[in-house]
Amino acid sequence: MEQNVYDVLEERGFLKQCSHPEELHELLGKEKVTFYIGFDPTADSLHIGHYVALMTMAHMQRAGHRPIVLLGTGTAFIGDPSGKTDMRTLMSKEQLAHNAACFQKQMSRLIDFSEGKAIMVQNGDWLYDLNFLDFMRDIGVYFSVNRMLTAECYKQRMERGLTFFEMSYMLMQSYDFLELNRRYGCTLEMGGDDQWNNILGGADLIRRKEQKLAYALTTALLTTSDGKKMGKTEKGAVWLDKEKCSVYDFYQYWRNVGDQDVEKCLALLTFLPMDEVRRLGSLPGEQINEAKRVLAFTLTKQVHGEEEAIKAQTAAEALFSGGKDQSSIPTCELSMDDIAASGLRVVDLLVISKLASSKSDARRLIQGGGVFIDDVKVESVNQMLETSEIEGDGMIFRKGKKSYCRVRKA
RNA sequence: GGAUGGGUUCCCGAGCGGCCAAAGGGAGCGGACUGUAAAUCCGUUGUCACAGACUACGAUGGUUCGAAUCCAUCCCCAUCCA
C-alpha cells in the first residue's frame, strides 16, 4: 500500500504549518487533490529556493495529485512585502513575461505537464484587467487592516514603512486562490513558510465567498542549521540556469554544504529513500564527505542532467582528489583580443577569467598569497606569462583553494 | 500641508572644515589549521598606469587655500501633528 504523501512530506522535513492537518491528511489519502503553488517571476531563472517548492510539487504529483503552477506575472507586478526589508524594484510587464517564460522552461524538467497532469497559468491573465473599485468591493471588504498589520511577515516593514500598493499584494494572492478554486477546483495552496499569511488569506477568502473549505500548507525554507538562508554563493544566488550559475559551481555548492545540513538537503532536494538519507547523514567524521558527494551529484543530475553532472564530478575529482581527467575543468578561452589586451600579465588574466573582480582585487589576491598557476604560487604582482604557456591545454589558474579556471588560447 | 530627525563605502553604523578612501561591527575574499565541513586565529575589502593618481559620503549649485563635514535649492525616508 502506498504511503500517504502527507506522511512522505512530513518525514522528509517539508512541512511547516498547515491549516487543517488531520483533514488534509485524510483527504490526500483518499482522493485526487488539485493544489497550487505560486512563483513570482522576479528574475530570469529559478533558484534553489524555488526548487524546494518544486520538490513538494513533484512528490504530490507522484502521489497522484494535480499541481497547478501559477506564474505570478500579476502579483510580481506589485511585489510581495512579506518578510522583506525594502520594497522590490518594480518591473515592467514585458520583463515579467520574459521571466515567466524562463521559469516555464526550467520547471518542465521536474514536473510532468503532459496530458493535463499539471496545469500552468499566469495570474496576469486575470489580475491585469481587474477593475479597482469592483475588486475592492468584491474582495477588499473581506480583509481586515487591523489583522494584516499584526502579521509577523510585515514586522520589518512596519519599522521602515509599507505602502498601500504593497499591502494590496495579499489581496491579489488571496484572489488567485479563489480564482483557481473556481476555475479548477483547486482546494490547497502550498508555499514557503514566509507565505503562510498570504495563503491563509486565500483560504479564508474561499471560505467566505464560496462557503467551501480550502487548505493552506507551508513548507520549510531552505536554511542552514544556524538559521541562515541557504543558496547564496560568492556570485549570488544558486541559480538553476547554467548561464547564471555554472554546473561546476552548482555542484561545488552542494559538495561544500556544512556537515549539519547534508541530511536536510538530501531529504528536501533529492528523491533518495529516507533510510538512505539517514544513513548518509549520520556518517561520522570525514566520511560525511561521501554524503556530500551523493548530494552534489544527485541534485546536479536532477537539475542539469546526468551528462553535465558527470562532467562536474570529473572536474572536481581532477582538481581535488588527483583525478586524471582534466577535460571538464572550467575553462576560459582567450581570444587574440584578450591576449593583446592583457599583454599576458597575470593580473589581467585573473580578471578575464573572472577569478578576480578587478585588477586591484587581483593584486590583493596575489599579495595575500592566494593565486597559483599550475600549483605554483604567484609571487609577484607583475608576473607575466609566455605565449607558449597558454597554447594547447593552457595553464590552470587557482584562486584560493576552491576556485579554478583553465586559461588557454582559443 | 506643518514640526523634528535623517540620507555615508556590499549591509548596519561612526565621523560633523584639513590628520578621511572615511572608526567599529556584519558579510565577502585570501592565509594558517582541517575533511573541498564547522569553529578559531591572522590578513584584506573603491578604481587605475598602484610608494603616485583618480573617483566616492542623496542631487545640484555656492562659501573656503581646502568640504562627507558649512550655506542654498531640490529629491527621498522616518517620527509626531493635521
Q: pLDDT of A178-237, one tens digit each?
A: 999 999 999 999 999 889 999 999 999 999 999 999 999 999 888 776 666 676 665 567
Summarised one tens digit per residue, pLDDT across range A129-173 is 999 999 999 999 999 888 887 777 776 676 667 778 888 899 999
CA of A163 to C1' of B11 (A): 23
Per-residue model confidence (pLDDT) at position A150: 78
Q: Return phi, psi of residue A333, to 5°.
A: -90, 130
CA of A242 to C1' of B29 (A): 23
Count of H-run helices and E-run strands, chain A: 18, 13
Mean pLDDT over all residues of chain A?
90
Summarised one tens digit per residue, pLDDT across range A348-396 is 999 999 899 999 999 999 999 999 999 999 999 999 988 888 888 889 9
Per-residue model confidence (pLDDT) at position A280: 96
Place of cell 537539475: A303
DSSP state of A87: P
Nearest to A193 by CA among A23, A56, A4, A22: A56
ipTM of this predicted complex? 0.87
Is the backbone of residue A372 left (phi > 0), alpha (psi -120 to 50) or beta?
Answer: beta
Q: In the annotation, is A293 catalytic?
A: no
Query: Crossing angle for the helix pair A288-304 and A262-269, nearest 10 degrees?
Result: 30
In whole angstroms, give the CA distance from residue A163 to residue A148: 13
Q: In the annotation, is A25 catalytic?
A: no
**Smallest CA–C1' separation from A321: which nucleotide?**
B36
CA of A258 to C1' of B67 (A): 49
A349 neighbors A342 (Cβ within 8 angstroms): yes
**Smallest CA–C1' separation from A401: which nucleotide?**
B36
Q: Return all residues near A21 (Cβ < 8 A) that are at least 6 apart.
A: none
Per-residue model confidence (pLDDT) at position A325: 83
Q: In the annotation, is A233 catalytic?
A: yes
A199 neighbors A177 (Cβ within 8 angstroms): yes
Catalytic residue from among A12, A40, A50, A313: A50
Torsion of CA A356, A359, A361, A363, to 10 degrees: 110
What is the percentage of chain A residues whose pLDDT exceeds 70?
A: 94
For strand B, the positions having any atom within 7 A of a protein Cβ are 28-32, 34-38, 43-50, 77-79
Q: In the annotation, is A270 catalytic?
A: no
The distance of Cα A69 from the centroid of its chain, to the nearest Å, equals 15
Per-residue model confidence (pLDDT) at position A25: 96
By CB neighbour count within 10 A (0-12 exposed, 13-18 middle, 19+ buried), where does A213 fall? middle
Q: In the annotation, is A409 catalytic?
A: no
CA of A152 to C1' of B79 (A): 22
| pTM for this prediction | 0.89
Torsion of CA A22, A23, A28, A29, to 10 degrees: 70
Lowest mean pLDDT among A82-96, A130-144, A239-253, A272-286: A82-96
C-alpha cell at A172: 491579489
CA of A346 to C1' of B49 (A): 16
Bridge partners, A395 (sequence order): A407
Q: In the annotation, is A50 catalytic?
A: yes
What is the length of chain A?
Answer: 410
Q: What is the mean pLDDT of residues A41-61?
A: 92
> Which residues get their CB within 7 angstroms of nucleic chain B?
A 159-161, 234, 252, 255-259, 285-286, 288-289, 292, 316-317, 320-321, 347, 351, 357-361, 363-365, 368-370, 399-403
A168 neighbors A130 (Cβ within 8 angstroms): no
Q: Per DSSP, which regions of A129-207 are E strands?
A: 188-192
**Smallest CA–C1' separation from A251: which nucleotide?**
B36
In whole angstroms, give the CA distance from residue A326 to residue A98: 37
Is the backbone of residue A305 left (phi > 0), alpha (psi -120 to 50) or beta?
Answer: left
Beta strands at A188-192 and A215-219: parallel, antiparallel or unpaired: parallel
Per-residue model confidence (pLDDT) at position A156: 66
Per-residue model confidence (pLDDT) at position A193: 87
A360 CB-side CA count, 13 A: 0
| A296 pLDDT more than 90 | yes
A408 neighbors A393 (Cβ within 8 angstroms): yes
Per-residue model confidence (pLDDT) at position A387: 85
